[in-house]
């Protein structure tokens, strides 16, 4: 499904809403987890899984499947909500987030859950893993593409830039990195903790194509993903400006919601606000 039209945009927007509702419910049930950065990435994930990626839940290990790596692994709830909605596992699993023995751990575990391509959580490792996957495809020529989602605070990690340098050096045009640029991390505003700007100029210096978009406008996300397919001889980064806690007014742009789960009354308030957007 490649055409960007009113129907495809409406479908992705609906999926993004479902993903956000699932995030709130599962975090409320678990009582712990990362809320803000999961909500900020919901539109990006909806575009990837319900428009862009060549994947099949019925054949999750197909050789030619596209690979997605959640480099910001602490945002596992957005990945779990998306995989459940895509049909990789039953929705009932979501109520077991962070429970003892559950495959839905605090960070994604590729050995426990179908659809998870890489065990992530240590920041910087996911994009490094993605570069390796993209290099493997260039050798095997199986035709898949690799997508990695990073946080802007994650860009403070030195190994991110080693991976970025390698991807540019090896002309990995089958690799797309997406930066969830919500400007906040657990300790506060990224610019105050350890500034990472100018993000676009840094990627350009390492021979990447740079696309800057509104990370909550699904039409822009879809168009950027489409544009990335046409780029040859270099990888693409989509710098997506987002809002931490997007969709829940009392969470939006607040660092304190980085790693805090909503309480029962906050779950009800959040779901009411999300339902009002239907």
If you write DSSP's letter for every residue of 31-47 in order, what string do you get? Answer: S-S--HHHHHTHHHHHH
User: How far apart, in Å, are the Cα atoms of 181 and each of 72, 94, 272?
Assistant: 12, 26, 26
Is 42 contained in some domain? yes
* 1: in domain: no
Q: Is residue 169 part of a domain?
A: yes
**Residue 171 domain flag:** yes
pLDDT at 278: 66
Please state, in angstroms and rounded to a whole number, the distance separating the CA atoms of residues 66 and 89: 18
Query: What is the C-alpha separation between 33 and 248, in angstroms, rounded?
Result: 16
Q: In angstroms, what CA-CA distances link 198 with 69, 118, 164, 168, 210?
A: 24, 28, 15, 18, 12
Q: Which residues pair with 153 in a beta bridge?
A: none
- Domain assignment of residue 267, yes or no: yes
* CB count in 10 Å sphere of residue 66: 19
Adjacent-strand bridge partners of 176? 147, 236
Number of H helices, E strands in the chain: 10, 7
Cα–Cα distance, 9 to 11 (Å, whole number): 5
Enclosing domain of residue 217:
6-275
Q: What predicted TM-score, i.e. pTM, was given to this entire model?
A: 0.97
CATH number, residue 259 = 3.40.50.970
pLDDT of residue 7: 94
Q: What is the mean pLDDT of each run of 10 residues along the chain (278 residues)?
A: 87 98 97 96 98 97 97 97 97 93 94 96 96 97 97 98 98 98 96 97 98 98 97 98 97 94 96 88
Full DSSP string of 129-167: HHHHHHHHHHHH-----EEEEEETGGGGSHHHHHHHHHH
User: What is the spatial distance between Cα 54 and Cα 27, in angstroms, rounded to a whole number?
Assistant: 29
Total domains in the chain come to 1
């Amino acid at each position: 499904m490649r055409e960007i039209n009113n129907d495809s945009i409406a479908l992705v927007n609906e999926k993004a809403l479902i993903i956000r509702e699932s995030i709130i419910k599962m975090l409320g049930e678990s009582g712990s987890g990362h809320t803000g950065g999961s909500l900020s990435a919901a539109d990006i994930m909806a575009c990837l899984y319900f428009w862009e990626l060549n994947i099949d839940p019925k054949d999750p290990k197909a050789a030619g499947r596209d690979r997605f790596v959640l480099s910001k692994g602490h945002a596992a709830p957005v990945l779990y909500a998306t995989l459940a909605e895509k049909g990789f596992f039953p929705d009932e699993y979501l109520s077991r987030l962070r429970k003892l023995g559950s495959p839905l751990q605090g960070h994604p575990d590729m050995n426990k859950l179908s659809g998870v391509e890489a065990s992530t959580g240590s920041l910087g490792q996911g994009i490094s893993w993605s570069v390796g996957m993209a290099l493997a495809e260039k050798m095997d020529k199986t035709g898949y593409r690799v997508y990695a989602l990073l946080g802007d605070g994650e860009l403070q990690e030195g190994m991110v830039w080693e991976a970025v340098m390698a991807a540019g050096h090896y002309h990995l045009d089958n690799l797309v990195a997406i930066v969830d640029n919500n400007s906040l991390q657990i300790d506060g505003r990224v610019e105050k903790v350890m500034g990472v700007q100018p993000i676009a100029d840094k990627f350009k210096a390492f021979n990447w194509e740079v696309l800057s978009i509104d990370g909550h406008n699904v039409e822009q996300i879809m168009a950027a993903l489409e544009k990335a397919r046409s780029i040859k001889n270099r990888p693409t980064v989509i710098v997506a400006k987002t809002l931490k806690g997007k969709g829940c007014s009392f969470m939006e742009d607040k660092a304190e919601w980085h790693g805090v789960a909503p309480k029962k009354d906050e779950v009800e308030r959040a779901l009411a606000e999300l339902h009002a957007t239907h």
